[in-house]
């Protein structure tokens, strides 16, 4: 999931460089959402791993 967030971030940067602001904003929003989902799932897995021991 972090990989997809990075891909969308790169798409947003490239689109912004070429002047496609609408596409850049959409791709940046998707990247932000995917990053936060990744972060939440990572924290859940770390907590679950600590509780398993």
Q: What distance in Å separates the CA atoms of residue 4 and residue 53, rounded to the nearest whole number?
A: 31
Sign of the CA dihedral with 7 first, then 30, 11, and 17 last: negative
Say what the pLDDT of residue 39 is. Answer: 94
> What is the structure's pLDDT at 34?
92
Between 53 and 3, the higher pLDDT residue = 3
Question: How many domains is the chain built from?
Answer: 1
What's the domain range around 31?
Answer: 2-52
pLDDT digits (tens, 9 = 90+) for 4-40: 888 989 999 999 999 998 989 999 999 999 999 999 9
């Amino acid at each position: 999931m972090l990989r997809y967030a990075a891909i969308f971030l790169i798409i947003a940067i490239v689109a912004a460089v070429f002047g496609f602001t609408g596409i850049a904003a959409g791709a940046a929003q998707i990247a932000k959402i995917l990053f936060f989902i990744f972060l939440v799932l990572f924290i859940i897995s770390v907590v679950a791993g600590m509780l398993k021991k």
